[in-house]
């Protein structure tokens, strides 16, 4: 699925990027390990919904953008260290992160869920999962919430989302917590097809359901430009074409 959709997105952008007048340069970071939002394709190039949205924004802002893949556990610090100007990596808002970064308006929305053996587990409530091993990617809002709200469960953390999925696949965890849309992609793989969503989506004020683009603290000027560009790609149909290349429903 990802390969076909990614190819469609590439074909869409191939004919349009040369129209941008690149008067400025912008360094963009993403994780590269969070399909279908950001990943490295068969040729090692960064691809995915986040990457295509970033490219569309760069074109709209008439800036020349370069991209770099950064491990999730290092991505916030790299922004503070001025290694890049902007992060487009499905970043959720938290008060702690807001001390270090400027946040754009949301560019997509989703919810956190649990996945696993849906016949064995039917309830996502913490009280129903005492002693259950739950995997998560470290330094994510889901990992933090897992440790706060599911104290009677056993948190099993991996360095990134593919690693957390592997814990579930290898029976080192009973359940996996993550973003519903990202996990839909996992459930559609050959290995992940034996799992399903467990219980209801997790409802909590702490688990923000929106993703944002971020810039270094104090760089509100860049965020204002990003917000204006985001509005324009929604109005001119570019956002919807990118959305439709990856998802059969709107995630805005």
Among 116, 170, 127, 123, smallest CA distance to 149 is for: 127
Residue 204 · residue 149 · CB < 8 Å: yes
Residue 181 · residue 50 · CB < 8 Å: no
Type and span of the H or E element at 147: helix 141-149
Give per-residue pLDDT as tens, 165-207: 999 999 999 999 999 999 999 999 999 999 999 999 998 888 8
Residue 226 · residue 104 · CB < 8 Å: yes
Rounded percentage of the chain residues whose pLDDT exceeds 70:
91
DSSP structure string for 189-244? STTGGG-EEEEEEE--SSS--EEEEEEETT-HHHHHHHHHHHHHHHHSSHHHHHHH
Give the pLDDT mean for 74-98.
Answer: 97
Give the pLDDT mean for 153-167.
Answer: 97
Q: Is the peptide bond before 36 cis (omega within 30 degrees of 0)?
A: yes
Q: Answer yes or no: is pLDDT of 2 > 80.
A: no
Give per-residue pLDDT as tens, 96-154: 999 999 999 999 999 999 999 999 999 999 999 999 999 999 999 999 999 999 999 99
CB burial class (10 A; 0-12, 13-18, 19+) of residue 107? buried
Structural domains present in the chain = 2-109+209-246 (3.40.190.10), 112-202 (3.40.190.10)
Distance between CA atoms of residues 165 and 185, nearest Å = 11
Give the pLDDT mean for 72-89.
Answer: 97
Q: DSSP 3-state assignment of 14?
A: helix
Q: DSSP 3-state assignment of 31?
A: coil
Q: What is the pLDDT of residue 101?
A: 98
Give per-residue pLDDT as tens, 11-70: 444 444 333 344 689 999 999 999 999 999 999 999 999 999 999 999 999 999 999 999
Q: Answer yes or no: is pLDDT of 208 > 90.
A: no
């Amino acid at each position: 699925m990802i390969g076909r959709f990614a190819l469609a997105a590439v074909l869409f952008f191939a004919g349009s990027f040369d129209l941008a007048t690149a008067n400025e340069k912008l360094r963009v970071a993403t994780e590269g390990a969070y399909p279908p939002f950001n990943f490295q394709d068969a040729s090692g190039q960064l691809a995915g919904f986040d990457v295509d949205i970033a490219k569309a924004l760069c074109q709209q802002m008439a800036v020349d953008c370069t991209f770099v893949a950064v491990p999730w556990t290092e991505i916030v610090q790299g922004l503070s260290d001025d290694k890049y100007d902007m992060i487009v990596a499905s970043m959720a808002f938290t008060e702690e992160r807001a001390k270090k970064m400027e946040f754009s308006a949301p560019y997509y929305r989703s919810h956190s869920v649990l996945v696993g053996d849906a016949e064995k587990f039917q309830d996502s409530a913490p009280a129903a999962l005492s002693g259950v091993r739950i995997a998560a990617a470290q330094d994510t809002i889901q990992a933090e919430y897992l440790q706060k709200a599911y104290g009677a469960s056993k948190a099993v953390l991996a360095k990134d989302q593919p690693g957390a999925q592997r814990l579930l696949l290898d029976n080192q965890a009973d359940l996996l917590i993550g973003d519903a849309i990202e996990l839909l992609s996992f459930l559609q793989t050959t290995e992940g097809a034996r799992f399903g969503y467990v219980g209801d989506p997790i409802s909590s004020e702490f688990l923000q359901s929106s993703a944002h683009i971020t810039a270094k603290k104090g760089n509100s000027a860049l965020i204002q430009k990003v917000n204006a560009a985001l509005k324009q790609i929604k109005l001119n149909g570019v956002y919807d074409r990118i959305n439709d290349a990856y998802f059969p429903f709107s995630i805005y």
